[in-house]
Amino acid sequence: MTAPPAERAGAPHGGDGGRRPGPLGDGVARDYARKLQRFNAFAEPELRRAIAELDLRRGMRVLDAGCGSGEAVGWLAAQVGDEGGVVGLDLSAAHVAAARAIAPGNAAIVRADLADAPLAAAAFDAIWSVNTLNHLHDPVAAIGRLCAALRPGGRFALGQSALLPEMVFAWDARLESRVNEAVRRYYRERYRIDERALTAVRALLGQMRAAGLQDVRARSWLIERTSPLDAASERYLGETIFRDTWGARLQPYLHCDDYAELRRLCDPAQPQYALRRRDFHYLQSFTLVLGRAAST
């Protein structure tokens, strides 16, 4: 769909202003829409449960800040009904195209830079933003700018997956620890960032309080999957985690024996393939931090 004019939608004007990429390399041309689609399908039950925490009502207007491939836009739009509306905002052109392809009639998808999006003041009753703030150079400043788009007393929800270490190989904590450290080393070297930058995502509650939000509270869920897996879970774990996040790029960061064992567990052609084991048990945390804009 085509977004209505920014003034009428309460939406930002497009354009990224030529700003430098985010700390994880995000920019207009960055495209990981398929990864986002797989995660949203995998975690849909838990994400919908988190959306319920916003206590949305029909007729409300909601901003999805960093909407990615747009699945949550549809879930939010269903809560506010045709009388309400949702604006999804994302920097990536590919993500915006994916989101527009599935956006319902009461939603507008806009490409803009979250770091300086000129949102209309008090345009929204609620803001939803998941797995987004860690992609920005100054999360507290971004939260403050977004708060200006909330009506007095409006709700702000920041969500983040995997604040706690995931459990993938329940039977081999040692290998899992080595793999997690290899992933951190890969990200440190690829994006030239230190460990503090990688772990700053855990500070969501403090960031929201620093931005002036009130009644800030946090709640976490476990995304838990066991064998046999549903199709969405197998696709996310097999393709996004085993192939894309781990894969061949971790080989330089692991001892050769550890890498060989990892490949045996992650290769669907191998008899030890983890996702077909009867003892497969996966845990990932999802945390939602809720705050409220000051009332006047």
User: Does the pLDDT value for residue 244 go beyond 50?
Assistant: yes
Closest-CA residue to 24 (of 64, 63, 66): 66
What single-letter amino acid sits at 294? Answer: A
Q: What span, in angstroms and rounded, lies between the C-alpha atoms of 46 and 51?
A: 9
Closest-CA residue to 86 (of 95, 99, 96, 77): 77
Domains defined for the chain, CATH in brackets: 33-293 (3.40.50.150)
Are 139 and 133 in contact by the 8 Å Cβ rule? The answer is: yes
User: Does the pLDDT value for residue 60 go beyond 70?
Assistant: yes
User: Does the pLDDT value for residue 172 go beyond 60?
Assistant: yes
Beta bridge partners of 221: 286
Instruction: Express each pLDDT in 173-208 by its tens digit.
Output: 999 999 999 999 998 999 888 877 767 788 999 999
The total of other beta-carbon atoms located within 10 Å of residue 111's CB is 22
Closest-CA residue to 145 (of 180, 113, 189): 113
Instruction: Express each pLDDT in 120-129 by its tens digit.
Output: 999 999 999 9
User: Does the pLDDT value for residue 7 go beyond 60?
Assistant: no
Instruction: Express each pLDDT in 91-132 by its tens digit.
Output: 999 999 999 999 999 999 999 988 788 799 999 999 999 999
Q: What is the pLDDT of residue 24?
A: 62
**What pLDDT band is residue 11 in, cutting at 50, 70 and 90?**
very low
Q: What span, in angstroms and rounded, lies between the C-alpha atoms of 91 and 4?
A: 17
- For residue 149 the two structure tokens come to 């788009």
Stronger pLDDT, 191 or 146, i.e. the higher one: 146
Q: Diameter of the chain by CA atoms?
A: 63
Q: Whole-prediction pTM value?
A: 0.89
- For the segment 54-72, the average pLDDT, to the nearest whole number, is 97
Q: What is the pLDDT of residue 6?
A: 29
Q: What is the pLDDT of residue 147?
A: 93
Query: What percent of the chain lies above the pLDDT cut of 70?
Result: 91
Instruction: Express each pLDDT in 205-225 by its tens digit.
Output: 999 999 999 999 999 999 999
